[in-house]
């Protein structure tokens, strides 16, 4: 999970706008093989006029829904091919949202840490990148809840003793700024309070760096979202294993500027339409992430 401030779907994806150049290891496995082709999902539902009417006129006139994302978190969002296209669960869902609103999706790739400010500053109309919304999250943007995930520990195969209950003394990686870093920080304090070896918390910029740190044995394990952990293990079955159960389940949210309550309602309605028509379920099944499905979209308004 990544803390909120707090790819392509056939026929609906538009050209990708690169806001920053990203060289991501997710394009290949550690042995140089290309990332698998994104699964095919059914066409998104058609435009819903009642929801489209809620979209601000400036966006309707442009015909484009700009979507900020950080494509370093497979299978939720990642780059494909030469790094100039995006794919993943969030990409297909965002493309579906745009279709329901009668708009073309245009993805703007940005650093994760810049997404929340990008939404507030109006650089894009919404942000989606596995952003975790918890009761402690101080939101400065509105959030549309659309998925549920939790933290999962992954260990290197040589570290059989590493479990969520026995992390003291191990080097464990996570994405900087993520809720997992906070979870590791809390666990480290428990280790120190109990007079045990501290956790060596290794905070890295991207999920690829986090995963590779375990693959090459720089760290004993990593903590990430369940779908991301499962994806990493599937790509590195000889070196990585899931350890223990998923914990601290929490919803993920799509961020929308607090200046646009009608757009927030439109996006919430679009997500619900994706759920009601079966598109949402088809996307999650295509990416093998259906365990994170929720029944109803919900808005959490900015503080």
| pLDDT of res. 23 | 30
Residue 24: which pLDDT band, with cuts at 50, 70 and 90? very low
pLDDT tens for residues 165-186?
999 999 999 998 888 999 999 9
Across 246-251, average pLDDT: 93
Residue 66: strand pairing partners: 106
pLDDT tens for residues 207-224?
889 999 999 999 999 999
Distances (CA, A) of 30 to 1, 34, 201, 223, 225: 24, 10, 23, 19, 21
The answer, yes or no, to whether residue 188 has pLDDT greater than 50, is yes
| pLDDT of res. 35 | 55
Helix axes 261-277, 279-286, angle to 10 degrees: 70
pLDDT tens for residues 31-77?
444 455 688 888 889 999 999 999 999 999 999 999 999 998 899 99
The answer, yes or no, to whether residue 82 has pLDDT greater than 80, is no
Residue 111: which pLDDT band, with cuts at 50, 70 and 90? confident
Q: What is the DSSP letter of 27?
A: G
The answer, yes or no, to whether residue 15 has pLDDT greater than 50, is no
pTM for the full predicted model: 0.81
Homologous superfamily of 2-148+250-300 in CATH? Periplasmic binding protein-like II (3.40.190.10)
Q: How many helices (H) and strands (E) does the chain have?
A: 9, 14
Structure-token pair, residue 297: 């979209």
**Residue % of the chain over a pLDDT of 70:** 88
Domain spanning 150-249 has what CATH number? 3.40.190.10
Of residues 201 and 140, which shows the higher confidence score?
Answer: 201
Domain ranges of the chain: 2-148+250-300, 150-249
Of residues 95 and 80, which shows the higher confidence score?
Answer: 95
Across 143-147, average pLDDT: 97
| pLDDT of res. 196 | 97
What is the rounded average pLDDT for all residues in the chain?
Answer: 87
Helix residue ranges, H only, 28-101: 49-52, 57-62, 89-100
Range from 74-83, 96-105, 280-289 that averages highest in pLDDT: 96-105
Q: What is the DSSP letter of 220?
A: S
Structure-token pair, residue 53: 């009417």
Across 111-130, average pLDDT: 90
Domains 2-148+250-300 and 150-249 share a fold: yes
Residue 122: Cβ within 10 Å count? 11
Residue 25: strand pairing partners: none
Across 92-112, average pLDDT: 95
The answer, yes or no, to whether residue 2 has pLDDT greater than 60, is no
Distances (CA, A) of 68 to 15, 36, 120: 13, 24, 11
The answer, yes or no, to whether residue 115 has pLDDT greater than 60, is yes
Output 217-220 pairs: Cβ under 8 A, ≥24 positions apart.
217/156, 217/158, 218/171, 218/173, 219/156, 219/170, 219/171, 219/172, 219/173, 220/155, 220/156, 220/159, 220/162, 220/170, 220/171, 220/172
User: Tokens 């539902």 belong to which residue?
Assistant: 45
| pLDDT of res. 48 | 98
């Amino acid at each position: 999970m990544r803390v909120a401030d707090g790819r392509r779907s056939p026929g609906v994806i538009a050209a990708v706008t690169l806001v920053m150049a990203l060289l991501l290891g997710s394009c290949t496995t550690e042995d140089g093989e290309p990332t698998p082709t994104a699964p095919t999902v059914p066409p998104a539902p058609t435009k819903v006029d009642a929801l489209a009417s809620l979209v601000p006129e400036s966006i309707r006139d442009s015909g484009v829904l700009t979507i900020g994302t950080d494509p370093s978190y497979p299978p939720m969002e990642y780059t494909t091919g030469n790094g100039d296209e995006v794919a993943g669960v969030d990409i297909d869902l965002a493309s579906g949202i745009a279709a329901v609103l009668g708009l073309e999706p245009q993805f703007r790739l940005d650093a994760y840490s810049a997404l929340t400010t990008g939404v507030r500053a109006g650089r894009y109309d919404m942000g989606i990148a596995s952003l975790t919304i918890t009761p402690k999250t101080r939101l400065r943007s509105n959030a549309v809840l659309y998925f549920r995930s939790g933290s999962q520990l992954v260990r290197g195969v040589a570290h059989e003793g590493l479990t969520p209950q026995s992390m003291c003394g191990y080097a464990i990686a996570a994405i900087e700024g993520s809720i997992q870093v906070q979870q590791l920080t809390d666990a480290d304090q428990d280790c120190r309070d109990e007079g045990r070896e501290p956790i060596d918390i290794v905070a890295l910029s991207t999920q690829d760096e986090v995963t590779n740190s375990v693959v090459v044995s720089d760290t004993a394990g990593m903590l990430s979202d369940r779908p991301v952990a499962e994806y990493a293990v599937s790509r590195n079955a000889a070196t990585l294993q899931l350890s223990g159960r998923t914990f601290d389940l929490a919803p993920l949210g799509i961020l929308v500027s607090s200046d646009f309550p009608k757009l927030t309602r439109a996006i919430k309605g679009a997500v619900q339409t994706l759920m009601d028509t079966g598109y949402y379920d088809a996307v999650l099944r295509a990416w093998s992430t259906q365990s994170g499905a929720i029944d109803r979209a919900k808005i959490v308004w900015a503080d």
